[in-house]
Amino acid sequence: NAGVMQNPRHLVRRRGQEARLRCSPMKGHSHVYWYRQLPEEGLKFMVYLQKENIIDESGMPKERFSAEFPKEGPSILRIQQVVRGDSAAYFCASSGTASRPHEQYFGPGTRLTVT
Amino acid sequence: KNQVEQSPQSLIILEGKNCTLQCNYTVSPFSNLRWYKQDTGRGPVSLTIMTFSENTKSNGRYTATLDADTKQSSLHITASQLSDSASYICVVSGGSNFGNEKLTFGTGTRLTIIP
């Protein structure tokens, strides 16, 4: 059973470009969470999605950031017009098994560098 | 404001020795407390999850304790191995409806095991 998969693992973008980060949850999981980890800081919640629905986006910046989890395919975190301050590791987690509903399993992360 | 504080920030010990990592939290409401291990360049991996009614939980050489009255937790590692070198993150859940958990992350203790 493959774990949570994220790609790309590393992404370099110039200021003003768009970044698209993908997350495929574990098989059978229908809940996806995105977190951001700035250097020397703890992970910070960004957004929680279920299939085709954003449930909680209270941690997401109001501008330039968006997320989706379509019926088919991976969850996408999209950052438009990236700035240097967006450089961070972005982690996706998934959960949703009946036996362990609250256990979040993390992917390996995407390290975004904005030059 | 919900906060999770960990100490020490970093720790270096000899292989085979024991160590204890500390976590203090001010998260309300409280649902559960988790310890994660995060290897460099990887996503966090769950070690233990404890609810308020659990005082201690073990996972192999890892033993976590929880004092919900003083809002403190510790992670004890016995007979350390080189592979234990990682960041250990204390995470507190503020409760939720199914799936929509509010997790507050500490910044972690960076543990280095030297031969």
Count of A–B CB contacts within 8 Å?
57
Interface touch A109/B96, C-beta < 8 Å? no
Higher pLDDT, B101 or B103: B103
Q: Is residue A38 over pLDDT 80? A: yes
Interface touch A104/B103, C-beta < 8 Å? yes
Which residues is B98 bridged to in the sheet?
A: none
b/e for B63-72, b at 16 or more Cβ within 10 A? Answer: bbbbebeebe
**pLDDT tens-digit readout, A41-97:** 889 999 999 888 998 898 999 999 999 999 889 999 999 999 999 999 999 999 876
Interface touch A108/B4, C-beta < 8 Å? no
Residues of B in contact with A95 (CB under 8 A): 99
Residues of B in contact with A102 (CB under 8 A): 31-32, 49, 93, 96, 99, 101
